[in-house]
Chain A
């Protein structure tokens, strides 16, 4: 259980850090506007910017889905499997 917790937390923190950096590069029009890190990304002018915007999206969803998988999905699947074996026996 503790392992699953730290995996989810680590994924969330790594994703948040990546989102923070890539969002700061591509989705922050200025530090004095309300909407930061979530503003619409500009159209990428070359492949590096496209990769950067994509990595930012990946980090963002890693921050959200990482803990969701390790704290909700995997324990739920385990519980399902346990109840399935219990009802089979």
Chain B
């Protein structure tokens, strides 16, 4: 395995032959040219020098990332890319080896668990009898919780204390309200903040939404909670508001000392060279 790259690697496939339309490859290409291979410099240790170093894995990791950072920097300086383009690591071997390591790890965990605690077969499901507790998949608990809003389904006295809509249809209407709010938010806030602290109000709205989805999910599985349903029902709507208020207060406090301009400058796309 050789690590010797010469600077000719960089130029050997730049093709100056005229093409059928009169231009050249170089003139036509818009991707900044072939990847610039970085020759070793004086700071680059040889393999034997690397072996002699005994600081261990942390040193090796540091050297790898420092080297990778330096190569990336040199690539940026030598190429005609503008800075807003992202120069990544090559898929082979960098990304592939890393992804293989991660994949092996998770496959190993799956094999370990399936080998040590195999699932056994229960009795087959009986399609002719409905279980006493029916629940959707967990990510739809919030929706199921919305169907259990019957304590706040109003009874109108002009109707003689009768309900305007049934409890079921009331839950469906509540879905319309939730989905309507979710659909409305992008029109009210364009989402150009980079940090929650930049827009405390909308961060609080987001926290309220997340908490409401969690508490509505808890409402769906209400019989799992060892306290009164009335308390659970009240907490389902008080907790999101409380969480939103705390978020707003904390973020408002954090605004002091936050450098908006610096952050804007950091994230601004830089103009081409």
Contact = CB atoms under 8 A, between A and B. Distances in A.
On whether the two chains bind one another, the answer is yes
Interface of A: 17, 20-21, 24-25, 28, 31-32
A17 B109 contact: yes
7 contacts: A17-B109, A21-B112, A21-B113, A24-B116, A25-B116, A25-B117, A31-B119
A30 to B, nearest CB: 9
Contact of A21 (B116, B119, B120, B122): B116
Interface string B112-147: 110011011010000000000000000000000000
A32 B116 CA distance: 19
Nearest to B116: A21
Contact of B113 (A20, A28, A31, A32): A20
Q: Which size class do B's interface residues fall under?
A: under 10
Nearest to B123: A32
Contacts of A25: 116-117
Contacts of B117: 20-21, 24-25, 28
Contacts of B120: 31
Contacts of B109: 17
Contact of B122 (A17, A20, A32): A32
B16 to A, nearest CB: 50
Contacts of B113: 20-21
B157 to A, nearest CB: 43
A13 to B, nearest CB: 10
Contacts of A21: 112-113, 116-117
Interface string B152-172: 000000000000000000000
A31 B122 CA distance: 9
A21 B112 CA distance: 9
A23 B185 CA distance: 45
A27 to B, nearest CB: 11
Interface in B68-119: 109, 112-113, 116-117, 119
A36 B29 CA distance: 62
Contacts of A32: 122
Contacts of A17: 109, 112
A25 B116 CA distance: 8
The 6 closest A-B pairs by CB, nearest first: A24-B117, A21-B116, A21-B117, A32-B122, A25-B117, A31-B119
Nearest to B119: A31
Contacts of B112: 17, 21
